[in-house]
Amino acid sequence: MGEMVEPDYRQVLRLSPSPSNTKTLEGLMQVITIKDSTDPSKESTTKSTNLQGHQQNPQEAWLPITESRNGNTIFAMFHLLCSGIGFQALLLPVAFAKLGWAWGIICLSLAFAWQLYTIFILVRLHELVPGIRYSRYLQLAIVSFGPKLGKLLALFPVMYSSGGACVIMIINGGRILDLLFKTICDHEAICQVQSLTSTEWFLVFTCVAILVAQIPNLNSMVGVSLIGAITAIGYCTLIWVLSVTKGRPTDISYYQFDVAKSNMEKIRDKLNALEIIALAFKGHNLILEIQGTLPSNQRHTSYKPMCTGVTVSYILIAMCQYPLAIVGFWAYGNKVPFSGGLLSAFSQIHGANTSKLIMGSIYLLVLVNHLCAFQVYAMPAFDNLEIRYTTKKKKPCPKWVRTCLRIFFGGVTFFVAVTVPFLGSLALLIGGRC
C-alpha cells in the first residue's frame, strides 16, 4: 500500500489489417519500445535539448539570456535586488505627502502585495508546461496570442521598456556624476577645474556603462548584480539612518495646503502619488529572463529556487523601501522635492553639516548602482538585437558583432538622453524604470 511502481514503457500494440493487403495478418504483432527519457544517465548534456529530449531551437545557446543556465537561488537574488531597488524609491515620501500617513502606508502595502502576486504568476508561467521554458516575454506572448500578434504586442514594449530604463539611468547617472564632482571639488573651489556640461556627463556615464556591458551573458553578470545589490541597500540605508540621526527641521509640515487648488489639481496630485508608489517596485520586465539563467530538469525545475530567491530578495527590498517612505516623510514632511526625492532633501537640509566623505559616499553608491542596474535592464535589448543577427545568419554572434551591437545600443540611448533630458518626468509612460 502506498508503494511507487515504476511504469512499464514497453507497449504492445496490435496492428489492424490493411485493406490493400490480401495476406493473412492474423497474429501479427509489432512491439514499439519507448525510450525512458527520465533516466538521468540518458539525458542529453547539450544546451539545445529540452526536458523531453526533443530538440530545441539552437539559438537558445547563442543568446545572452539563455547562453548560460548555471545560475542558482543566490545569483537570482542578486539580479532581483539589483533591478528591484531603484532611484524611484527615494520619491516615496512625496507620495506620502500627497496621501497622508494612513493612505500612504495602505497604498504602499497593497502595491507591494500586488507586486509579489504578479511576480509569482510570472515565475509559474516560465515553466508552466513541463520541459518548455519561456525565458522571454516575446516567447510567452507568441504562445498566448500567436506569432504575428504576439510579436506585435511584445517586441516593441520590451525594447521600449529596456531602452527607456537605460535612458533614465543615463540621465540620473550624469546628474549624480555632476553632484559627486561638485562635492569632491567643493564647487570647483579646490580642484580649480570647471565641471563638465550635462551632455558630457551623460557621455561619461554611457561610455563606462557600455564598457561594463561587454560581459557576455546575464548569468556571468552576477558579480555586477552583487555590487548593484550591495550599493542599492547601502545608499537606501545610509539616507534613512542619517535622516533619523540628524533630526527633523523645525518648520516641517505633514499636511498639504490644498485650499487654493482646484478639484482637478487635487485629483492629479493623488494620481501622481499612486504612480510614484506603483513605480517604486521594479523588475517585472526581467523576471522571466532572470529565471532563465537557472538550471532545470524533470525532477528539479527552476520554480522552487526562483520562488525562494523572490521571497528573500523582496523581504530585503521591503526593508529598504518602507523605512525610506516612513522615515523620509517623518524627517522632511512635505519638503521632499519631486526632483531628486530624499537625496535632494537630505542634501539641501543636512548637506551643510554633513562631511564631504559621507555625501560623496552616498553619491558614489547611487552612481555605482545605476551602472550595475543599466547592465541588467539592457540585457533584454541586447538579446533582441542578437536574435535578429542569429536568425538571419544561422550562427552565433562573433565577439566583434556583439560588441558593435552593444555600442550601437549605448549610442541610441545616449542620443535619446541628450535630446529628451526631461524623460525622467515621463517615467510612467516608459514603465518608470529609473
Contact 59, 202 (CB under 8 A): no
Give every CB contact of residue 314 below 8 A, 6+ residues apart in sequence.
Answer: 80, 84, 112, 115, 116, 119
Residue 113 CB neighbours (<10 A): 10
Contact 83, 286 (CB under 8 A): yes
- CB-neighbour burial class of residue 2 (10 A; exposed 0-12, middle 13-18, buried 19+): exposed
Q: Which of 405, 390, 374, 379 is nearest to 174 (CA)?
A: 374
Contact 193, 401 (CB under 8 A): no
DSSP 355: -
Q: How far apart are CA 181 and CA 173, in angstroms?
A: 12
Instruction: Give the cell for residue 106.
Output: 495602505
Residue 136 CB neighbours (<10 A): 21
Would you give per-residue pLDDT tens digits along the chain (434 residues)? 343 433 443 344 444 444 444 444 334 333 333 344 344 434 333 333 333 323 356 778 888 998 888 889 999 999 999 999 988 889 999 999 888 899 999 999 999 999 999 999 999 999 888 778 888 888 888 888 988 888 888 888 888 888 888 998 999 999 999 999 988 887 665 677 788 898 999 999 999 999 999 999 999 999 999 999 999 999 999 999 999 998 888 878 777 665 567 778 788 888 888 888 988 888 888 999 999 999 988 888 889 999 999 999 999 999 999 999 999 999 998 888 878 889 988 988 888 888 889 999 999 999 999 999 999 999 999 999 998 899 898 888 899 999 999 999 999 999 999 988 776 666 555 554 44
- DSSP string covering 385-415: HHHHHHHHHSSPPPHHHHHHHHHHHHHHHHH
User: Strand (E) positions, 220-352?
Assistant: none
pTM: 0.82
Residues in the chain: 434
Q: How far apart are CA 134 and CA 52, in angstroms?
A: 15
Q: What share of the chain is helix, strand, coil (3-state, %, to 5)?
A: 65, 5, 30
Residue 372 CB neighbours (<10 A): 27
